[in-house]
Structure 1
């Protein structure tokens, strides 16, 4: 026998799934809406008639015949061997949308959705599919919907604005609003703009994804590098990623990449080379630097799970990448200087861009085959080792 709580839960389902709003947008109707429920069996009537009678009274008290709105309760007469004819609830039906919305407490939400639908049809019809696909998300953002439309219309008129978000002059919309609602704006703008007005290859919000997708400026990562074969007055520089062009004053054939800042600052002189340092996982940003594809890339990182993870990421962008001092021999010679890698920060996934020896060492570290959470930080490697590793007549000066 259905309780009022169970009845409301069942009645709310067309709303909570978004099905009612989708049908309403399509011009369809779910009314009259019947709510299925289990009816008392003959055995229950016999054994607990008082409980059944109270249940019937409860349904009746909350029906439209008593409250003036809500569900209509229909009855059916049944013949019972011991109790004779009994009039039992047979159907619970919501005749109209207003009766149903009032019962589930969603009249105001539907009114908002109706207003949003009208506003969107008039001002931004291209995003109407979003209302059908995600109606509950629309209601979630009901108070902000007019501003979301204003932002989308701005981009329709001025695609690829090539400005910082702070510079967008949209009436009634401030910088904080766009920063706070990038996720839903990305979905709406994808519908509102022409295909040529955004970069569909950029997905997600990470690494300034919203700005890159819709042609906005952003605070780019700084690339710090040193020229290792230069007699000029400036050899240590930091530039935004988009300005990281190949130096013209030096013939660069080899590019070293190292995680540690002090190792970058003290990296030995190497003929026709530069060293990039201090990026960590930010090395992924280098994939957009096309001129690096034609260079010899050598990566030097920590001998730990994250060091090999970063090496794999670099090699994913630049398959020609070689590793430096990230081998078993280097680890063996410095085991007395090793520390423990933090358990919560270890990388335990799969890496697909390692050589056979690198992969074997990474697996040994991941599985703690040589010691628990073994880690050799690159700054603990003796300076003479890097000198020796680079001591090639054709590379050093």
Structure 2
């Protein structure tokens, strides 16, 4: 015997799966919509006649014949050996859309979807496929759908605008709106823009993904570097990544620690880049670095070797500096412990055999508990000697 709760759950299914809205967009229909249920058996009639009578009364009291809207009840008459003729519910049917929407409480939501669909057909027809694929997601944005359409139309007219989001003048849309809706805008813009009007290789929103994908400006990473043998008045500089032009050197040192970058010894025909950490991945777009001799100096710990592998994946010619067993042996008394929760446990692909062995030793605590030798603990004279 189906309860009102179970009946509502089954009736909701075409809505909660999005099936009804998809079929409505395609001018198809699910009506009349029949809700399956089990009718009581003759044995149940005998043992629970009172419960069945109450169940029938409840079903009837919530039906369209009593409430003026909702489901229709269809009955069939059976002959029972003990109880004689009995009239039992045989079918529960929603004959049309309005009765069904009223019962599941989605009249307002459907009206909103109808408005969204009409607006999209008129103003942004290429986005109709989004409504077909993800009707319920579109409905989540019902209140702001008109603004989403305005943003999409702006990019259709002005693809790759080469401006900051703050500079986009879209009537009725403030820049905070775009910042807060990058996810849904990415899905819509991918559908409505021409292939040449965005960079399909950029996926996700991290690291200014939305801005890079759709040709917007953004607050770029600053690259800080020092020229190590220059007689120019300015040798310590920070520039946006896009303005990091080729420097007149043949050797490039990269070090994570800021102070070590500031105090890096003078080296002929060389420069040092410092302070990037895992942000070092941004250097992968700097083509001219591929023609330089590159040396990376990181901590002798699990993350130091992980970052070294990242650098070498971009620049295979990279050598490491002071990241070897000898350096560790001579400075073990200066080592600290790497926090267990922050250790890197992966297996980088771009390490030499000695580097991989040392990383494996550190990860498995063969030379000490969570051993870590930070760059700045290595004596300055030792660094000078190694460079020589």
- Structure 1 length as normaliser, TM-score? 0.94
1:319 equivalent among 316, 326, 347: 316
What is residue 228 of structure 1 aligned with on the other side? 228
What is residue 79 of structure 1 aligned with on the other side? 79
In 2: Cα distance, 1:79 partner to 1:373 partner = 81
Q: How does 1:257-272 map to 2 (within 5 A)?
A: 257-272=254-269
Superposition deviation, residue 83 in structure 1: 2.5
What is residue 6 of structure 1 aligned with on the other side? 6
Q: Which runs of 4+ in 1 moved over 6 A?
A: none
Cα RMSD (Å): 1.4
Provide, for residues 137-193 of structure 1, a one-character-per-residue CA deviation record: whole Å limited to 9, x for no partner. 111011110011111111111111111111111101111011000111111111111
What is residue 132 of structure 1 aligned with on the other side? 132
Give the number of aligned pairs: 388
In 1: Cα distance, 2:366 partner to 2:70 partner = 68
What is residue 395 of structure 1 aligned with on the other side? none
What is residue 18 of structure 1 aligned with on the other side? 18
Alpha-carbon spacing, 1:333–1:82, altered in 2? closer, same or farther (3 Å): farther
What is residue 287 of structure 2 aligned with on the other side? 290
Provide, for residues 312-337 of structure 1, a one-character-per-residue CA deviation record: whole Å limited to 9, x for no partner. 21122112222211222222222222
What is residue 88 of structure 2 aligned with on the other side? 88
The gaps in structure 2 that reach 5 residues or longer are none
Alpha-carbon spacing, 1:184–1:85, altered in 2? closer, same or farther (3 Å): same
In 2: Cα distance, 1:216 partner to 1:91 partner = 58
The gaps in structure 1 that reach 5 residues or longer are 392-397
Superposition deviation, residue 78 in structure 1: 2.6
Alpha-carbon spacing, 1:44–1:334, altered in 2? closer, same or farther (3 Å): farther
What is residue 175 of structure 1 aligned with on the other side? 175
What is residue 279 of structure 1 aligned with on the other side? 276
Partner-residue secondary structure (3-state), 1:170:
coil
Superposition deviation, residue 274 in structure 1: 0.8
What is residue 150 of structure 2 aligned with on the other side? 150
What is residue 108 of structure 1 aligned with on the other side? 108
What is residue 190 of structure 1 aligned with on the other side? 190
In 2: Cα distance, 1:90 partner to 1:344 partner = 62
Say whether 1:56 aligns with 2:53. no
In 1: Cα distance, 2:155 partner to 2:168 partner = 10
Superposition deviation, residue 286 in structure 1: 0.5
Superposition deviation, residue 81 in structure 1: 2.9
Say whether 1:44 aligns with 2:44. yes
Superposition deviation, residue 347 in structure 1: 2.1
- Structure 2 length as normaliser, TM-score? 0.96
